[in-house]
Structure 1
């Protein structure tokens, strides 16, 4: 059964999500990749204000292709999440509630997810054109000089993803592979 969540995500939503759940997200998310994360992290280290309020936000690791009518963005597939691992715990500690990307996360990120009662979603790699259909509008928030890696706000409708790491630390990337290993008898 697919769960539908209207953003902003609530504590109750997060509590009711489990690794492996299929989810359709609707509402508002922000975007950003490694270059934007690095800038945000450096501002936090310097004790400065961030140019965007991340409290309660879900960030999508994406750098979309140019839009073609009638779409708000072009193909918008997920970026490999490990590229943000160095910066993610600090952002989660400042109130960010979730991430959408692809691939495994390191121990520090998983610990921060549990510590801050957050969630990590995976979007399906290779489905960039399909994902773009779920993005209804975009707004530039900051770091325009980064081009497609700028931080933007997307309004999304029925954005398909899977809970990979839930707020309890259950991790699909750890729990599922052993089920499919071939063992010699």
Structure 2
């Protein structure tokens, strides 16, 4: 059995365009900076906005999207639980978003061949967060702001500021993957 390396790398979201090319499947990453949450319903609306030629509520170029729906925050905290959802539900939209400049996604589970091809084509990266550990993941979130689709509740698009958010590179831009 092939041994997976577990190198720990600090990554800033503002430098994700350059950093993505150096990351390899199996790397442990501590991500800091701005990320956006978006799940199924939000992806559908974002795609419809693109179809109509409308400006998106956040810049897609060099963005990091987290497939999560944070729960309401308890007193004194920016967010409640914030664990990843199954990424494959966004696969129908992801190649288009990557081709338009999205640089990284965070979720759980394997991705389709079309998404893997788009990750390689666009020098992007797919990070995996630990499923079932949403309360632990929330400890890395410093602030939360709703930026679009407030009517979707926990599935609205939110801007998060994260610090040392623990992730594993699931698929790298060279085609390396943890999923076989």
Shift of 1:49: 2.4
Greater Cα offset, 67-76 or 113-122: 67-76
Q: Where does structure 1 lack aligned partners over 5 or more consecutive residues? A: 175-185
Greater Cα offset, 45-54 or 120-129: 45-54
Preserved contact between residue 145 and residue 159 of structure 2 (Cα < 8 Å)? yes
Shift of 1:171: 1.0
Equivalent residue number for residue 178 of structure 1: none
Shift of 1:6: 1.4
| Larger CA Rg, structure 1 vs 2 | 1
Q: Where does structure 2 lack aligned partners over 5 or more consecutive residues? A: 1-6
The question of 1:32 aligning with 2:38 is answered yes
| Alignment partner of 1:63 out of 61, 69, 85 | 69
Equivalent-residue separation in structure 2 for 1:32 and 1:51 (angstroms): 11
Preserved contact between residue 89 and residue 112 of structure 1 (Cα < 8 Å)? yes
The question of 1:150 aligning with 2:136 is answered no
Equivalent residue number for residue 3 of structure 2: none
Equivalent residue number for residue 17 of structure 1: 23
Equivalent residue number for residue 110 of structure 1: 116
Equivalent residue number for residue 90 of structure 2: 84
Preserved contact between residue 138 and residue 155 of structure 1 (Cα < 8 Å)? yes
Shift of 1:48: 2.8
Runs of 4+ displaced beyond 6 Å: none
TM-score, with length taken from structure 2: 0.93
Equivalent residue number for residue 162 of structure 1: 168
Residue 143 of structure 2 aligns to a residue whose secondary structure is strand
TM-score, with length taken from structure 1: 0.91
Equivalent-residue separation in structure 2 for 1:88 and 1:45 (angstroms): 14
Residue 172 of structure 1 aligns to a residue whose secondary structure is coil
Preserved contact between residue 71 and residue 133 of structure 1 (Cα < 8 Å)? no
Q: Please report the RMSD computed on the Cα atoms of aligned residues, expressed in angstroms.
A: 1.1
Shift of 1:105: 0.4
The question of 1:75 aligning with 2:87 is answered no
